[in-house]
Amino acid sequence: MDTIVDVSLVLLSISLLIAFYRLVKGPSMPDRVVALDLIGVILIGIMALFSIKFVSKNYFDAMLVLAILAFMGTTAMAKFLVKGVIIDRDSD
Amino acid sequence: MNNLILRTIAKRTFYLFVAFSLYLLFRGHNLPGGGFIAGLLTVAAIVLQYLAFDIKYVQKLLPIDYINVAVMGLVLATLTGIGGMFLGYPFLTQAFDYYTIPIFGTVELATALLFDIGVYLVVIGSVLTIISAIGDEKPWNS
């Protein structure tokens, strides 16, 4: 079990690096937004593995908070890319 | 713009976000959580309404001035700090005790919770003031 968790941590770290490469290099803005969202999801997975490795329940709340904030960021960036304005004064 | 999915999700998840932030607030001083992150989550819930709807809708939903919320929280946190000084302890001394309440059983009530509520209100008020001030500009491409 410990070996599996360690191997998964290494794999997730490698995918974090790949996502970070896309974040820096990404030719267009949507690439960077998707890379940021992917980094958030990978961080949640790393925290879940930590909570298995250290047998602790305290990581769950941090995972929820990170999921909510990553969702907010992705939504705001998507709306900015589509409409050019994040907060409407008076929609439709 | 037809964002029916976002609007439906924003309406439904508002109460979930606020409930989770209150949970983080009330367990704050012994476990991970506390006033700051709870305030940030409440701000996230309200900003989601800003994203899905518009400024008019949120002002109808929450007809308050956010800067007053920040000031109220700051006053509450400061009064909690000063409260210990009347009993001869240093500034920001906190106290706690165990009480038995009919439904909840034995709970720990701490004055650190009042301080945390103050921090919570300060974070909500100041961040929402900043976001609504920035968001109320003219759009850059129209």
Domain residue ranges in chain B: 4-135
Cβ(B113)–Cβ(B35) under 8 Å?
A: no
Q: Report the 10 Å Cβ neighbour count for A1.
A: 7
> Which whole number is the average pLDDT over A66-80?
90
The count of structural domains within chain A is: 1
* CA gap B33, B50 in Å, rounded: 25
How far does B124 lie from chain A, in Å, by closest CA? 15
DSSP E strand boundaries for chain B = 96-101, 105-110
The pLDDT of residue B138: 58
Query: Which residues of B fall below an 8 Å CB-CB distance to A?
Result: 1, 6, 17, 20, 24, 31-33, 37, 40-41, 44, 47-48, 50-51, 53-56, 131-132, 135-136, 139-142
For residue A92, being part of any structural domain is answered with no
Segment B6-63, tens digit of pLDDT: 889 989 999 999 999 999 888 877 788 788 999 999 999 999 998 888 888 888 888 8
* CA gap B13, B2 in Å, rounded: 19
Q: What is the DSSP letter of B99?
A: E
The pLDDT of residue B142: 46
Structure tokens that stand for B49 in this block? 């309404």
Domain that holds residue A18: 2-81
Residue with tokens 């302890």: B89
How far does B3 lie from chain A, in Å, by closest CA? 10
